[in-house]
């Protein structure tokens, strides 16, 4: 039967790891008693070591799940080491009991004083050849009188904490001091509420040495408050002797033996009273064993039911598909990489070149605007182009200079930096979009790490790349060779761009027309604004002529049209000016002159600049590809491997997987099923041991 209890204690803690529902609980012994009733001394006497927190202030603030594990003597006859363990803290074996005491004190003091007591139990196991296999739960002592630093709510908190633990199937160890009237024992009172017949309550009367032996014997006889499992009297502390931790057991035991030995008349074998810590231990073992044994059937059924349910759910919800946190991470990484790979197609050379060309087209338009469109002499250039007798070499130096300036403005506009940043931005966007999708919504920290890592790679490469690109486009700053085919492509592209620009201006004009209330209205507005401008010009001229200050007359425009509309009209004027230039140039671009080929460059600067832009895009792409993209696409997947997988320890892997609620649910159910299976296996192996399930013999 010894073996049975031991096994069941193991099973009990496995069950605690499955869930906390009452259905799946094996009994434990719950120790309750008021403060100073001698509860700690009693537990220490049972264990044979001083290990519980001491202090005037209430020191037990959390329940302690104390599991005692009997370790038999070794084959060589040597006594095995005694040690404690906090399984959830991972501190390993602790052989120094003072250290156990310190750890318990620290854990208790970590409960904020606002909370006072916590429901969160501390798991402590003690392995020793001197302890029986037992599970005991030490609870905070009942507070008798509330004081300033122990508010009323504390009293209730402790009471309700104890109430939860003394429920079935647990055994109640009600600790009462002999020198306090049993009628005043909060432990007995609490026990009577849940176990009125005392079927699962053992009374322990401490401090027997403090009352006359006849009085002690009367208490133990238990006639006043009968308990089925009886009372045991103990002396767990030699009066006035402050024992050291080493001899705690022995000194107390000696004084206990002395005491009961000296009063054999009252407590001798013939009295049939139960006295002494050893008797108590035996009694506890018996009671726990028999309670465990009688719970066995019920718990087996309950576990069986839970297991069936979990198995069914696992089948229905997951079709029995097993996963692990590791497999989930591997899958996540695969998803990430394949998504990454899909996206890299957006960064092949043609795609990058296309993007860069678009950026450079913008630059070309800016250059054209700056140098050509705002030039009052533009119509001349159109006329030159239209005149078939004009040879390019006859064109005025003015236009040659302009062409050179435009080309240089374009090539020196920071193409290396701008194009590198453009691609880098694209890559950042790519990473952001990859990690913002499922399942990374559940893993914000991992997503952040990947993003950070990608930024690091980019930061390292951007400088090098943009310098390299800038170097390689240097030749175009001095000379650009254009062949017929390039010219024609450039011309077509320029026509396209101009058409787009024309369409844009037209739509803007249309918008304004609609806004001010139609074409007629806009025309009259325009007329008015033009009039204003002429007046203003005249005034300016007059002022210049007279070289004196003329008092600026406030413009009367606000009287006829609202200022917003005046502004619209000014914009409309700009757009229509722009339109007429664009249309002129579009005609030129389509003319025979521009179609003729590269020799017309001075007359068709748009085509020339377009070809230059195309060459810049081409060269930039080549070097960005080598210096930035190749590195990025090579390093990022490796970084993902090392940062997502190899960097995590087992616990982090588990945490990562459980960040995803779907995976968490899957893992939880699977784990529950596995644990239940294991418990079931253990329970089944016990059936061979179940020889006797009769309750333990009772006191006569």
Piece of 201-209, 326-334, 512-520, 546-554 that binds ligand GDP (CB under 6 A): 201-209
Our finding on whether 108 is near ligand GDP (CB under 6 A) is no
Q: Evaluate whether 291 touches 8 at the Cβ level (below 8 Å).
A: no
Task: Identify the residue among 49, 157, 237, 355 touching ligand GDP (CB under 6 A).
Answer: 237
DSSP H/E element including 307: helix 277-318
Our finding on whether 89 is near ligand GDP (CB under 6 A) is no
Our finding on whether 239 is near ligand GDP (CB under 6 A) is yes
Least separation in angstroms between CB 239 and ligand GDP: 4
Our finding on whether 344 is near ligand GDP (CB under 6 A) is no
Q: Evaluate whether 125 touches 163 at the Cβ level (below 8 Å).
A: no
Looking at beta carbons only, is 141 or 213 nearer to ligand GDP?
A: 141
Least separation in angstroms between CB 245 and ligand GDP: 14
Piece of 82-90, 99-107, 206-214, 355-363 that binds ligand GDP (CB under 6 A): 206-214
Task: Identify the residue among 116, 235, 427, 497 touching ligand GDP (CB under 6 A).
Answer: 235
Question: 134: which 2 tokens?
Answer: 């037992």
Task: Identify the residue among 185, 191, 201, 236 touching ligand GDP (CB under 6 A).
Answer: 236
DSSP H/E element including 541: helix 519-546
Peptide bond into 169 cis (omega under 30): yes
Residues touching ligand GDP, count (CB under 6 A): 17
Query: Burial code of 64-82, b = ≥16 C-beta within 10 A, e = fewer?
Result: bbbbbbbbeeeeeeeeeeb
Nearest to 31 by CA among 42, 16, 20: 42
Least separation in angstroms between CB 234 and ligand GDP: 6
What is the edge-to-edge ordering of all strands in the sheet holding 122-128? 83-85, 122-128, 64-70, 134-138, 29-33, 171-177, 201-206, 231-233, 274-275
For residues 11-70, which are near ligand GDP according to CB under 6 A? 33, 35-41
Looking at beta carbons only, is 237 or 253 nearer to ligand GDP?
A: 237
Piece of 148-156, 203-211, 391-399, 515-523 that binds ligand GDP (CB under 6 A): 203-211
Least separation in angstroms between CB 132 and ligand GDP: 20
Count other C-beta atoms under 10 Å from residue 27's C-beta: 21
Task: Identify the residue among 16, 194, 199, 210 touching ligand GDP (CB under 6 A).
Answer: 210
For residues 526-565, which are near ligand GDP according to CB under 6 A? none
Least separation in angstroms between CB 43 and ligand GDP: 8
User: Rounded to an integer, what is the distance from CA 157 to the centroid of its chain?
Assistant: 33
Looking at beta carbons only, is 37 or 420 nearer to ligand GDP?
A: 37
Q: Where are the beta strands (DSSP E) in 144-295?
A: 171-177, 201-206, 231-233, 274-275
DSSP secondary structure letter of residue 555: P
3-state secondary structure of 602: coil
> Which residue is associated with the tokens 């037209």?
506
Looking at beta carbons only, is 29 or 235 nearer to ligand GDP?
A: 235
> Which residue is associated with the tokens 């980019």?
458
Question: 538: which 2 tokens?
Answer: 């005249």
Peptide bond into 287 cis (omega under 30): no
Looking at beta carbons only, is 187 or 569 nearer to ligand GDP?
A: 187
Task: Identify the residue among 103, 206, 277, 419 touching ligand GDP (CB under 6 A).
Answer: 206
Piece of 22-30, 67-75, 235-243, 529-537 that binds ligand GDP (CB under 6 A): 235-243
Piece of 7-15, 86-94, 230-238, 302-310 that binds ligand GDP (CB under 6 A): 230-238
Looking at beta carbons only, is 251 or 669 nearer to ligand GDP?
A: 251
Our finding on whether 209 is near ligand GDP (CB under 6 A) is yes
Q: Which residue pairs from 508-516 have beta carbons closer than 8 angstroms and sit at least 24 positions apart in sequence?
A: 508/571, 508/575, 509/572, 509/575, 509/576, 509/579, 512/568, 512/569, 512/571, 512/572, 512/575, 513/572, 515/568, 516/565, 516/568, 516/569
Least separation in angstroms between CB 194 and ligand GDP: 21
Our finding on whether 581 is near ligand GDP (CB under 6 A) is no
For 609-670, give the secondary structure using H, E and C: HHHHHHHHHHHHHHHHHHHHHHHHHHHHHHHHHHHHHHCCCHHHHHHHHHHCHHHHHHHHHH
Looking at beta carbons only, is 209 or 418 nearer to ligand GDP?
A: 209
Looking at beta carbons only, is 204 or 640 nearer to ligand GDP?
A: 204
Tell me how far apart the alpha carbons of residues 488 and 622 are, in angstroms, rounded to a whole number. Answer: 23
Our finding on whether 141 is near ligand GDP (CB under 6 A) is yes
Looking at beta carbons only, is 251 or 689 nearer to ligand GDP?
A: 251
The end-to-end CA distance of the chain, in Å, is: 22
Least separation in angstroms between CB 321 and ligand GDP: 52
Looking at beta carbons only, is 41 or 600 nearer to ligand GDP?
A: 41
Question: 4: which 2 tokens?
Answer: 């049975």
Least separation in angstroms between CB 7 and ligand GDP: 31
Looking at beta carbons only, is 179 or 488 nearer to ligand GDP?
A: 179
Q: Evaluate whether 427 touches 465 at the Cβ level (below 8 Å).
A: no
Least separation in angstroms between CB 32 and ligand GDP: 10
Least separation in angstroms between CB 450 and ligand GDP: 54
3-state secondary structure of 206: strand
Looking at beta carbons only, is 35 or 411 nearer to ligand GDP?
A: 35
Looking at beta carbons only, is 12 or 237 nearer to ligand GDP?
A: 237
For residues 660-699, which are near ligand GDP according to CB under 6 A? none
Looking at beta carbons only, is 37 or 128 nearer to ligand GDP?
A: 37
Chain residues in the site for ligand GDP (CB under 6 A): 33, 35-41, 141, 206-207, 209-210, 235-237, 239
């Amino acid at each position: 039967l010894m073996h049975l209890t031991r096994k069941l204690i193991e099973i009990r803690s496995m069950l605690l790891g499955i869930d906390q529902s009452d259905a799946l609980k094996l009994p434990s012994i719950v120790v309750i008693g008021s403060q100073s009733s001698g509860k700690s001394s009693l537990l220490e006497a049972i264990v044979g070591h001083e290990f519980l927190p001491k202090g005037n202030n209430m020191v037990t603030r959390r329940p302690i799940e104390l599991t005692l594990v009997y370790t038999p003597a070794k084959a060589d006859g040597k006594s095995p080491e005694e040690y404690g363990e906090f399984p959830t803290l991972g501190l390993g074996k602790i052989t120094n009991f003072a250290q156990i005491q310190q750890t318990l004190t620290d854990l208790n003091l970590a409960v904020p004083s606002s909370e006072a007591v916590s429901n969160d139990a501390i798991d402590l196991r003690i392995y020793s050849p001197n302890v029986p296999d037992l599970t005991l739960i030490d609870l905070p002592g009942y507070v008798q009188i509330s004081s300033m630093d122990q508010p009323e709510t504390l009293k209730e908190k402790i009471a309700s904490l104890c109430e939860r633990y003394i429920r079935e199937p647990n055994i109640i160890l009600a600790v009462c001091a002999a020198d306090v009237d049993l009628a005043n024992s909060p432990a007995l009172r609490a026990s009577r509420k849940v176990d009125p017949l005392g079927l699962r309550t053992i009374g322990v009367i401490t401090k027997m040495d403090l009352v006359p032996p006849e009085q002690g014997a009367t208490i133990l006889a238990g006639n006043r408050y009968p308990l089925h499992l009886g009372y045991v009297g103990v002396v767990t502390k030699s009066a006035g002797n402050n024992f050291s931790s080493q001899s705690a057991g022995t000194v107390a035991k000696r004084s206990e033996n002395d005491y009961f030995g000296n009063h054999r008349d009252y407590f001798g074998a013939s009295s049939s009273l139960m006295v002494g810590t050893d008797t108590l231990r035996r009694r506890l073992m018996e009671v726990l064993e028999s309670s465990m044994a009688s719970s066995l059937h019920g718990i087996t059924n309950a576990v069986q039911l839970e297991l069936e349910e979990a198995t069914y759910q696992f089948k229905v919800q997951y079709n029995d598909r097993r996963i692990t946190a590791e497999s989930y991470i591997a899958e996540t990484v695969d998803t990430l990489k394949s998504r990454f790979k899909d996206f890299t197609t957006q960064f092949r050379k043609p795609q990058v070149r296309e993007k860069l060309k678009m950026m450079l087209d913008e630059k070309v338009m800016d250059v054209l605007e700056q140098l050509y469109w705002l030039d009052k002499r533009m119509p001349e250039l159109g006329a030159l182009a239209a005149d078939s007798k004009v040879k390019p070499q006859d064109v005025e130096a003015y236009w040659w200079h302009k062409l050179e300036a435009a080309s240089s403005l374009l090539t020196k506009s920071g193409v290396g930096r701008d194009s590198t940043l453009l691609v880098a931005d694209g890559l950042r966007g790519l990473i952001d979009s990859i990690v913002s999708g499922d399942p990374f919504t559940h893993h914000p920290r991992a997503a952040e790490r990947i993003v950070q890592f990608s930024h690091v790679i980019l930061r390292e490469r951007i400088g090098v790349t943009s310098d390299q690109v800038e170097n390689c486009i240097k030749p175009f700053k001095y000379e650009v060779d254009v062949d017929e085919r390039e010219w024609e492509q450039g011309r077509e592209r320029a026509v396209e761009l101009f058409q787009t620009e024309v369409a844009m201006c037209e739509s803007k004009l249309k918008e304004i027309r609609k806004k001010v209330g139609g074409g007629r209205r806009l025309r009259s507005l325009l007329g008015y604004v033009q009039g204003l401008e002429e007046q203003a010009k005249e005034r300016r001229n007059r002022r210049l002529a007279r070289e004196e200050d003329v008092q600026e007359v406030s413009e009367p425009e606000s009287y006829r049209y609202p200022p917003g509309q005046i502004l619209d009209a000014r914009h409309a004027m700009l757009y229509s000016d722009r339109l007429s230039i664009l249309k002129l140039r579009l005609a030129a671009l389509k003319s025979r002159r521009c179609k003729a080929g590269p020799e017309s460059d001075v007359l068709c600067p748009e085509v020339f600049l377009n070809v230059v832009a195309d060459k810049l895009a081409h060269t930039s792409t080549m070097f960005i590809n080598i210096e930035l993209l190749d590195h990025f696409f090579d390093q990022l997947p490796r970084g993902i491997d090392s940062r997502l997988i190899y960097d995590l320890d087992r616990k982090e892997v588990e945490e990562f997987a459980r960040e995803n609620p779907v995976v968490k649910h899957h893992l939880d159910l699977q784990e529950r099923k596995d644990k239940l299976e294991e418990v079931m296996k253990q329970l089944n192996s016990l059936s061979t041991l179940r020889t006797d399930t009769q309750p333990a013999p009772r006191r006569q």
